[in-house]
A and B are shown apart, each in its own frame.
Chain A
Amino acid sequence: MQRILLRFALRGDLKYLSHLEMSRAMVRAMRRAGLPLALSQGFNPHPRLSFWHALPVGVEAQEDLAEVWLREPVVPADAVAKLNAVMPAGLEVLEAVEVGEDEPKLTQRFTHALYIIRVAHAGQPRDARGVAEAVRKGFAAEDGEILNVEEDGQTEICLLASHREGGPQLRKLAEKTADCLGIGPESVTIVRTGLYDSRQSALASSSGLKEM
């Protein structure tokens, strides 16, 4: 049995898939790619595949994680190439890594995430400092840490969230952001940019963004 960690991205319209729909698309791609999927034991065997916490509908992920168990070992780089040849547009495997059988679950190994909350405001630039203040005031501690707010035609808020206790309600966060800025929720989109094993590595990854 071989355990493989897949880093993948979910982009474009596929962000509208439910978690179940995304996982089914993944299993079917694995079958098309001819990966030797291991089946679970029991009355109703199904492929052994697990995901990191479910991504809410409407949120894009530049990084998401899955782990799959295979009956026979494969070369991870080959699996990436085979999968990407048969994936629907919008799902892309970035990397495959073999993982030891005794490693803890994905959600235990990866506890922190970085998000960009994007606010489009049709041609009306805002004052970045004002936006930052409004958002900081509106967000609660459990919503995550605001690392950075940038204005560049649109507002981009960089958020570091801990998912130890499940993590922030991203859909609610989008609404909250819209409320803070007095705009409609359809102007707010959220993108997950990365998953990390600790707050420190998330911070390190976001360095280069200046603290405000």
Chain B
Amino acid sequence: MDFDEFLDDVLVEVERPARYIGGEVNSSRKTAGGVGVRMVFAYPDLYEIGASNLGLQILYELVNARDDALAERVYLPWVDMQERMRARGIPLFSLESRQAVARFDILGITLQHELTYTNVVRLLDLAGIERRAAARGEGDILVVGGGPGAFNPEPVAELFDLLVIGDGEEAIQDLVDLVARAKARGLGRRVLLEEAAGLEGFYVPSFYAPAYGDDGQLASLEPRHGAPARIRKRSASDLDRWPLPARPIVPFLETVHDRANLEVFRGCTRGCRFCQAGYIYRPVRERSEEMLKSWAAELVRATGYGEISLSSLSTADYSRIHTLAACLRDALAARQVSISLPSLRCEADSVELAALTRKARRSGLTFAPEAGSQRLRDCVNKGVSEQDIITAIGRAYERGWRRIKLYFMIGLPGEHEGDVLEIARLSKRLLRSDTGKPLPGLQLVVSVSSFVPKPHTAYQWCAQDRMGTLAGKQQLLSRELRGKNLTFRWHSAPASYLEGLLARGDRRLLPAIEEASAAGCFDNWSESFDWPHWQGALNKLNPGPEFYVDRARGRDEVFPWDHINCGVERAYLWEEYERGAAGLATADCRFAGCTGCGACPGGASMSRAGLCVTGGRA
């Protein structure tokens, strides 16, 4: 099949043809000759979303650094391109060498968001790969999943031959070694999977058989063929050993994070009870300041980006953030490169950091108080007082910012109508200074999303608000949040409902995902999210969607993700759930000693001071 000719015929007709041409600066030009293992990484969404993903950039560079392997990329083509591919019988092909995806040895798909699950099915269909791992045979491509979605992969587990749980830096080496060995020795698929199941962090879904009780709940997920009962996530303990990509690909298109990405640390122990990332990426692992400085310089040289983002789950928490930011700012100013800090806390100190690095105030600042009332902020362990927020915004105003975005959630466990109204009251209060004076010219954008309980969090037992309840709260806010300096934004309730269903789902959801995928995909794009069709697919579920979404679970219920061990103990999460209901704070172990979550290897906590403290909650 001539993919070049196909592209020449259709590229002038489709939206944003640069999505499909490859050839970006720093993309791989390795050719298959003599190379052992050929891997293709897929981000199941549009190029401009997927190309920004740091995890895939890291893995791409690691695989291509090996002599015995190569890595290429593919993204899900937009609908206009999909139609043309189908009409011409063109299968999905890689960006670099324009080879059919199905002809690679490994397809690595990242699961970043539940609303991309229909895209995964579509991607396999376009590639001409059997959807179910069980239907693939000897010589077929190995479909491997990873990313945060792998912490409860069950709704899509049967699409994957194996999934890698946790950090990919070390696991990708194991995977490539294994496939290289299997190819060299002619190992069969079954033997390869049995070997994989013995590796830390590797999950082979076909080796686990679920059994369901009469109540619809999962009764057990029995391992077979010697697979472990629980799969412990991989965690790269020393990130300095695993450098960031020195030469990341520079997309032609404007992508969602159109800048160089310097990951300063991984993990977060602030302990927000709703936050999955805060639990599954523990413990906190910082990169050293010296390494970060040299990477930053190298990144700028290799990419030509005009902006470098210091990324993490909460960048202001980096232990030497002020010196790092000031030092990078001075070093990069000569090259006219600016620094941005995407994740700030609602604290004056964070505003000072932003002021230090950003000369232009045009981009605005974003704060996430999460809840409007102090009571509910305490319940979720946000650790921010109303005074902190008022001071932070007052300081931002003094420093020249006029456009500030606030993130809140509705539907948090234990929320009353009064808590919802507090979002409006607090937002209006923030239009005035500490002393109550109006702040002329300040524009507040109040963005309110709907809370979705996630696996491996303190709220994994909770019922999600019904769509009608959420819509009522949104209406309440749209009445209350009016004013010339206030803009109110909210998320689609059906999309949150679907996200909740898939987040805590099990293998019985796959037929519905497949049916929805046949009608459309790109559920995360409001213009293509087809709720009526999803409803049709969900009506056939047994148990129905309400079983998954708006049902509170008992303390000891077996969860579909219990066999995935993220390090944080289930007993700890339950304790956190109860502390949350009682409004009790849990301190960050970096500042106040180990809280006994279980994530640190060997049961020791790695506190900021470098001390190892063993033990539990005081």
A21 to B255 CA separation, bound complex (whole angstroms) = 11
Q: Is the CB of A25 within 8 A of B306?
A: no
Q: Is the CB of A32 within 8 A of B301?
A: yes
- Would A14 and B304 be within 8 Å (CB), given that A21-B253, A25-B252, A37-B336 are in contact? no
- Chain A nearest CB, measured from B94 CB (Å): 14
Q: Is the CB of B17 within 8 A of A57?
A: yes
Flag whether A28 is at the interface (Cβ < 8 A). yes
Q: Is the CB of A89 within 8 A of B23?
A: yes
Residue of A nearest to B363 (CB): A44
Flag whether A139 is at the interface (Cβ < 8 A). no
A37 to B336 CA separation, bound complex (whole angstroms) = 8
B contact residues around A86 at 8 Å (CB): 25, 304
How many Cβ-Cβ contacts under 8 Å join chain A to chain B? 77
Flag whether A90 is at the interface (Cβ < 8 A). yes
Q: Of B12, B24, B305, B306, which is within 8 A of A58 by CB?
A: B12
A29 to B302 CA separation, bound complex (whole angstroms) = 9
A69 to B252 CA separation, bound complex (whole angstroms) = 23
Q: Is the CB of A31 within 8 A of B252?
A: no
- Chain B nearest CB, measured from A184 CB (Å): 9
How many chain B residues sit at the interface, stated as a range, is 20 to 34
A17 to B8 CA separation, bound complex (whole angstroms) = 13
A20 to B252 CA separation, bound complex (whole angstroms) = 9
Q: Is the CB of A14 within 8 A of B17?
A: no
Residue of B nearest to A18 (CB): B18
Interface size on A, residues (CB 8 A): 31
- Chain B nearest CB, measured from A209 CB (Å): 26
Residue of B nearest to A22 (CB): B252
Interface string of A23-55 (1 = CB under 8 A from B): 011011111101001010001110100000000
Interface string of A104-133 (1 = CB under 8 A from B): 000000000000000000000000000000
A contact residues around B306 at 8 Å (CB): 27-28, 31
Q: Considering the complex, which residues of chain B in the window 53-92 have a beta carbon less than 8 Å from any beta carbon of chain A?
A: none
A34 to B9 CA separation, bound complex (whole angstroms) = 38
A94 to B10 CA separation, bound complex (whole angstroms) = 30
A contact residues around B16 at 8 Å (CB): 18
Interface string of B372-386 (1 = CB under 8 A from A): 000000000000000
Flag whether B254 is at the interface (Cβ < 8 A). yes
Q: Is the CB of B9 within 8 A of A186?
A: yes
A88 to B24 CA separation, bound complex (whole angstroms) = 6
B contact residues around A21 at 8 Å (CB): 18, 252-254
A contact residues around B254 at 8 Å (CB): 20-21, 24
Q: Is the CB of A17 within 8 A of B252?
A: yes
A contact residues around B25 at 8 Å (CB): 25, 28-29, 32, 86, 88
Q: Is the CB of B12 within 8 A of A28?
A: no
A contact residues around B22 at 8 Å (CB): 13
- Chain A nearest CB, measured from B98 CB (Å): 11
- Chain A nearest CB, measured from B334 CB (Å): 9
Interface string of B5-42 (1 = CB under 8 A from A): 00111111000111001111100000000000000000
B contact residues around A25 at 8 Å (CB): 25, 252
B contact residues around A17 at 8 Å (CB): 18, 252
- Would A31 and B23 be within 8 Å (CB), given that A16-B18, A25-B252, A58-B12 are in contact? no
- Chain B nearest CB, measured from A49 CB (Å): 12
A170 to B21 CA separation, bound complex (whole angstroms) = 22
- Chain B nearest CB, measured from A1 CB (Å): 15
Interface string of A131-161 (1 = CB under 8 A from B): 0000000000000000000000000000000
Residue of B nearest to A30 (CB): B304
B contact residues around A13 at 8 Å (CB): 7, 21-23
Q: Is the CB of B362 within 8 A of A32?
A: no
Flag whether B303 is at the interface (Cβ < 8 A). yes
A contact residues around B209 at 8 Å (CB): none
- Would A31 and B360 be within 8 Å (CB), given that A13-B23, A14-B23 are in contact? no
Provide a sorted-by-A list of 26 A–B residue pairs whose CB atoms are within 8 angstroms.
Answer: A12-B23, A13-B21, A13-B22, A14-B252, A16-B18, A21-B254, A24-B254, A27-B304, A27-B306, A28-B303, A28-B304, A29-B25, A29-B304, A30-B304, A31-B300, A31-B305, A31-B337, A32-B304, A34-B301, A44-B360, A47-B336, A88-B23, A88-B24, A88-B252, A186-B9, A186-B10
| Among all A-B residue pairs, the 4 with the closest Cβ atoms | A28-B304, A31-B304, A16-B17, A58-B12
